[in-house]
């Protein structure tokens, strides 16, 4: 039995309803996600137009360190999306509400523990990053302010994941729009209006996260009445154990990814403040790409989860094919845009001539990254929707061990270029291993049972055979 044929792909791509369904979720998430790197670009732009490059380097590093915490806790969004989408597909109202409650409880617990451990986290940061004294001082100022927004950041992640799982992209769109646009406005107010530096950028981020949380909570309150919670104790504890088990795998996966980004930042710091600033600029472009591709990954998450909840092979396959098609289109659009306007974009970020000159040899990486990065985002969307977190973990570990680490050590003599070659090897290995593991999982019936697929295939063939 052929599980996945070229004719299947053609059939799915000709399904206008599937395209509309994908865009119904992807469009709001795409628009809202694209405001996320806008914040990073504005942060870098505001700092990049101050006289000293250490401000730009510090904000880039400080934001990356905070993102490390948030991405490490990325399971709060991703796990919630997959589990809620499956519960929604199965019309299990009990689980729909319980996953929200348990994920929120976990988010608050993580935030409180992080705040308690913050003095030791600071020491670890300073040990890991060997920048200049000016950079370290600015990083500490940014971090000690930004960290107080963590509870709201994590709770926002849970709510966004829950709404996406419920096939509702409108509320996450509004939440992210509020967070990011207020962040931009407050950045300009505090830095250019009040004469603050990295502390103004951090305060703007905290306030905007609080505003996003307030809006999301208001929207959430009205919807929860539709899903009454029963059997609170025993069933909740069983689901908490399941949540923690899935999160353990995703935590390992995320830490492996963050090891790569921290290596880029720390190695850049060793090569000097200007190289460090250049890498901060380059990673901002990667953030633009990732948030653009995440729009369709979010759609795939929601649709794959719902298809599995309904046990519908055709819906599962169509969600993957159509989501993949639009992910490819988006990546090509990014490549063309960067090819034409990369110098202009860098000029928007900083007018420090030395940083702009340092960045010039790296333009080719910015242009090519979308073609290599696309596959990881799309495939992760499938795995999240299917709650196949172990597969995500294994793919990421292989990408780090087989792709990144060997190239990192073999190309050290090539300076920052070698670092980015290693990063490309990491992205390519991640794509290859994810494809391989997905194929094995489908052939083994881990997502939709082989018997269900066979019934669908036989039914389809029979329908064609008996059609007049």
Domain containing 257 equals: 6-466
Quote the crossing angle between the two packed helices 150-165 and 170-187, to the nearest 10°: 150
Per-residue confidence (pLDDT) for residue 5, from 0 to 100: 80
Does pLDDT of 349 surpass 80? Answer: no
Q: Which two tokens stand for residue 61?
A: 């590093």
Does pLDDT of 26 surpass 70? Answer: yes
> What pTM was estimated for this model as a whole?
0.79
* Lowest-confidence pick of 108-112, 270-274, 443-447: 270-274
Per-residue confidence (pLDDT) for residue 131, from 0 to 100: 58
Per-residue confidence (pLDDT) for residue 37, from 0 to 100: 54
Does pLDDT of 446 surpass 90? Answer: no
Does pLDDT of 47 surpass 70? Answer: no
Collapse the DSSP code of 196 into the 3-class scheme (helix H, G, I; strand E, B; otherwise coil) and give the result: coil
On whether the CB atoms of residues 134 and 198 are closer than 8 A, the answer is no
Per-residue confidence (pLDDT) for residue 130, from 0 to 100: 60
Has residue 100 been placed in a domain? yes
Per-residue confidence (pLDDT) for residue 122, from 0 to 100: 76
Has residue 400 been placed in a domain? yes
Say how far apart CA 174 and CA 387 lie, in whole Å.
26
pLDDT, tens digit, 9 for 90 and up, residues 352-390: 677 777 778 888 888 898 999 899 889 999 998 998 888
- Give the whole-number percent of the chain exceeding pLDDT 90: 26
Has residue 34 been placed in a domain? yes
CB atoms within 10 A of CB 230: 9
Number of domains present in the structure of the chain: 1
Look-up of token digits 């509702």: 168
Does pLDDT of 155 surpass 90? Answer: yes
On whether the CB atoms of residues 130 and 269 are closer than 8 A, the answer is yes
Has residue 49 been placed in a domain? yes
Per-residue confidence (pLDDT) for residue 466, from 0 to 100: 39
Each residue of 6-19: b (16+ CB within 10 Å) or e?
eebbebbeeeeebb
CB atoms within 10 A of CB 233: 7
Q: Which residue has the higher pLDDT, 40 or 233?
A: 40
Has residue 265 been placed in a domain? yes
Per-residue confidence (pLDDT) for residue 433, from 0 to 100: 94
Has residue 1 been placed in a domain? no
Has residue 126 been placed in a domain? yes
Collapse the DSSP code of 229 into the 3-class scheme (helix H, G, I; strand E, B; otherwise coil) and give the result: coil
Does pLDDT of 25 surpass 50? Answer: yes
Closest CA to 350 of 2, 28, 56, 6: 56
Has residue 399 been placed in a domain? yes
Per-residue confidence (pLDDT) for residue 266, from 0 to 100: 77
Per-residue confidence (pLDDT) for residue 113, from 0 to 100: 92
CA 393 distance to own-chain centroid: 15
Say how far apart CA 18 and CA 11 lie, in whole Å.
11
Per-residue confidence (pLDDT) for residue 401, from 0 to 100: 95
pLDDT, tens digit, 9 for 90 and up, residues 49-68: 555 555 666 666 667 677 66
* Lowest-confidence pick of 235-244, 331-340, 391-400: 235-244
Q: How far apart are the first and last CA of the chain?
A: 25
């Amino acid at each position: 039995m052929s599980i996945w044929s070229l004719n299947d792909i053609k059939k799915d791509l000709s399904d206008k309803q599937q395209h509309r369904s994908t865009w119904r979720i992807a469009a709001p998430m795409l628009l809202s996600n694209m405001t996320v790197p806008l914040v990073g670009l504005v942060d870098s732009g505001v700092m990049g137009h101050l006289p000293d490059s250490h401000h730009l380097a510090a904000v880039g590093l400080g934001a990356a360190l905070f993102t490390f915490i948030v991405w490490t806790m990325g399971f709060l969004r991703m796990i919630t999306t997959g589990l809620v989408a499956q519960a929604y597909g199965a019309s299990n109202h009990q689980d729909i509400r319980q996953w929200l409650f348990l994920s929120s409880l976990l988010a608050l617990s993580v935030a409180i523990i992080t705040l308690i451990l913050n003095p030791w986290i600071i020491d670890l940061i300073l040990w890991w990053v060997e920048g200049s004294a000016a950079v370290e001082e600015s990083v500490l100022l940014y971090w000690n302010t930004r960290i107080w927004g963590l509870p709201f950041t994590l709770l926002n992640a849970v709510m966004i994941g829950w709404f996406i799982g419920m096939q509702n992209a409108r509320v996450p769109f509004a939440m992210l729009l509020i967070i990011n646009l207020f962040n931009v406005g407050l950045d300009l107010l505090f830095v250019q209006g009040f004469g603050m530096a990295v502390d103004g950028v951090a305060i703007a981020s905290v306030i905007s996260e609080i505003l996003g949380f307030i809006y999301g909570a208001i929207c959430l309150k009205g919807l929860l009445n539709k899903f009454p919670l029963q059997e609170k104790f025993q069933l909740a504890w069983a689901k908490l154990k399941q949540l923690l088990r899935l999160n353990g795998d995703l935590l390992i996966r995320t830490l492996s990814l963050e090891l790569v980004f921290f290596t880029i930042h720390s190695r850049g710091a060793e090569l000097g403040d200007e190289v460090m600033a250049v890498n901060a600029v380059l990673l901002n472009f990667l953030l633009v790409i990732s948030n653009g591709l995440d729009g369709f990954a979010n759609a795939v998450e929601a649709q794959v989860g719902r298809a599995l909840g309904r046990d519908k092979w055709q819906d599962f396959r169509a969600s993957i094919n159509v989501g993949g098609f639009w992910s490819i289109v988006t990546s090509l659009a990014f490549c063309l845009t960067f090819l034409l306007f990369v110098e202009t974009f860098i000029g928007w970020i900083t007018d420090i001539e030395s940083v702009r000159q340092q960045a010039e040899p790296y333009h080719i990486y910015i242009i090519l990254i979308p073609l290599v990065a696309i596959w990881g985002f799309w495939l992760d969307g499938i795995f999240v929707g299917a709650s196949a977190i172990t597969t995500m973990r294994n793919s990421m570990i292989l990408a780090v061990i087989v792709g990144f680490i060997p190239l990192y050590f073999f190309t050290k003599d090539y300076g920052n270029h070698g670092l980015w070659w290693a990063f490309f090897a990491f992205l390519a290995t991640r794509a290859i291993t994810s494809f391989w593991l997905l194929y094995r999982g489908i052939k083994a019936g881990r997502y939709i049972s082989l018997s269900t697929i066979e019934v669908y295939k036989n039914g389809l063939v029979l329908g064609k055979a008996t059609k007049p």
